[in-house]
Amino acid sequence: MFRVFRSEWYEKKLKKLDSQEQERAKKFEQELKQEPHSGKPLGYEFFREKKFDGKRLIFLVYNSHKAVFLITITDKKAQQDSIDLIKLNLDIYRQELEKILKSL
């Protein structure tokens, strides 16, 4: 089973959703523990998105750490900008996740 972690960016976006959307996102988080490679790949096998209610939950899957790192929630309009930003910072996200894992 995989573990699921949230980035600060994801946390901020999650808080802005209404309660029903928050519950839907949390349900996806639980599903990702069992099926981390669900959703649509975004250029790389480990870089994926899940869609719900016009929103996109963007995450990275780290098989070596058995972890899913939730990066952000976006809409279709801002999707490409978010994807491009994440691709430019893949090393930073890996380091951030590794820091989280060491603190456990």
* Structural domains of the chain, ranges and CATH numbers in brackets: 3-103 (3.30.2310.20)
Check: CB of residue 57 under 8 Å from CB of residue 25: yes
**What CA–CA distance (Å, rounded) separates 21 from 83?**
21
Check: CB of residue 63 under 8 Å from CB of residue 52: no
Residue 52's pLDDT is what? 87
pLDDT tens over the chain, length 104 residues: 999 999 999 999 999 999 999 999 999 999 999 999 999 999 999 999 999 888 999 999 999 999 999 999 999 899 999 999 999 999 999 999 999 999 99
pTM: 0.94
Query: What DSSP character marks residue 18?
Result: -
Query: What DSSP character marks residue 63?
Result: G
